[in-house]
Structures are given as structure tokens and as C-alpha cells.
Amino acid sequence: MQTLVAYVENKPGVLNRVASLARRLAINIDSLTVGPTENEEIARMTIVAHTDERGAHRLEASLEKLVDVLLAENISTRALLERDLALIKVSADQQNRPHLMELIKVFRARVVDVAPESLIIEVSGTVDKIDGLLEVLRPFGVLEMARTGRISMTRGGDLLQPPPATQSESLETAEAKSK
């Protein structure tokens, strides 16, 4: 599994291009999240792909060839902070409710909705942590689940910022070349 971060133009169709590219390279995407950044014209993606280092290099370099991708970087080997968020609806009756609440506490999850027959649990953390919680909830009956997919950030001073707004190629040379 490889993790890539990409800064892309925040406009329609870009997600399609990114997903279509991965499909063309025969690389399976495990999760892909997109969200806005400080700059409203730029969005940030975290892509988790089922591939090896070589595949990740190809994906990274190919992504950067897309006009709308400003930067793509494989951060798999760097010190990372990773988060996934899940909402899990479990069936809960009067009897098992106390037991459930205990587990939720251990996993530092929260109950965000209470109904007579069920609870919605919100949990965030690493994929492993959420998978762990899911494992112990399963016997109670998981009715529904929604997960965001992973977002990642390199730790500390290791910054990954969008490139400054300067033109990448001299216009005159390229236009002259075309004549």
C-alpha cells in the first residue's frame, strides 16, 4: 500500500482525471479523499493505492503530467500522521448497551446519535484503530457504516505545500516552437 498526496486545481472533472489515470495504469485505488485547502482554488488529495514503490513512482510522475495536478508526491516512506473517520451504526438494546459503551470508551470513540434500537458511533484515527473497533462491534450487529478514507500529512517541519503561482514554461518558447 502506498500513500500519495496531490495538490490539484479545485474544479470539476479533476477527480475524474485522477481516477481515470490510475485505472489506465492498472493501479487499484484503496481510498481517495479530496478536500479544499487554504487556497480555495486548490484542493488536496490523499490517494492510497494498492501498488509497490515502482507503481507509486509511475502514478506520482504520471499524475504530475496532468495539467490540473500541481504537485504529486509519494509520502509512503516519510513520517506520517494518518487519519480516517468512520460513522458506525450498531444495533444496541438495553442489555448490551453498557458493554458497548465501555468498548467505545476504550477506543476513544464517541456516541453521536442514540435511538431505541441502535447507536451511531463516531471514531477517528488510523485505519488499524478503526478496523479494531469494527472487529469488536461486529458481534453486536453493524447495521451501517460510512468511512471517509484516509487523509495523511507528513510530520513536523517536513512541509508539503502547493507550488507558488509562477508559470512553469516560458510561453514564448513554446509558441515559437509551434510555428
Partner 1 sequence: MKLTGAETLCESLTRLGVREIFGYPGGAILPVYDALGKSKLHHVLVRHEQGATHMADGYARASGGIGVAMATSGPGATNMVTGIATAMMDSSPVVCITGQVSSKVLGSDAFQEIDITGITMPITKHNVVITKAEDIARTIREAFLIANSGRPGPVLVDITKDAQQASAEFNWEASEPKLPPKRLRNNHDQAEFDRAVEMLNTAKRPIILAGHGIMVSGAMRAFEQFVRAGNYPVAMTLLGIGCFPANDPLNLGMMGMHGEAWVNNAIQEADLLIAVGMRFDDRVTGDLRTYAKSARKIHIEIDRAEINKNVKVDAALVGDAREVLEKLTPHIQTRDHGTWIRHITELKGDSAVRDIQSLPDNGHLYAAHVINDIWKETRGEAIVVTDVGQHQMWEAQYYHHNQPRTLITSGGLGTMGFALPAAIGAKFAKPGSEVWVVVGDGGFQMTMSELATIVQEKISIKIAIINNGYLGMVRQWQEFFYDKRYVATPLVAPDFAALANAFGIRGERITKRAEVVPIIRSARESNETVLIDFRVEQEDSVYPMVAAGASLSDMIRRPNNPLVETATEP
Contact set with partner 1 (CB under 8 A): 9, 16-17, 20-21, 24, 54, 57-58, 61-62, 64-71, 162-169, 171, 174-175, 177-179
How far out from the chain centre does Cα 126 lie? Answer: 11
Q: Which residue number, 24 or 155, has a Cβ lying nearer to partner 1?
A: 24
Q: Which residue number, 30 or 68, has a Cβ lying nearer to partner 1?
A: 68
The Cα–Cα gap between 125 and 83 comes to 5
C-alpha pair distances (Å), 172 with each of 136, 166, 175, 176, 178: 63, 15, 5, 6, 10
CB of 160 to partner 1, least distance (A): 11
Q: Which residue number, 118 or 154, has a Cβ lying nearer to partner 1?
A: 154
* Length of the chain, in residues: 179
CB of 8 to partner 1, least distance (A): 8
Q: In what order do the strands lie in the sheet with 69-74?
A: 28-36, 42-50, 2-9, 69-74
CB of 15 to partner 1, least distance (A): 12
CB of 179 to partner 1, least distance (A): 4
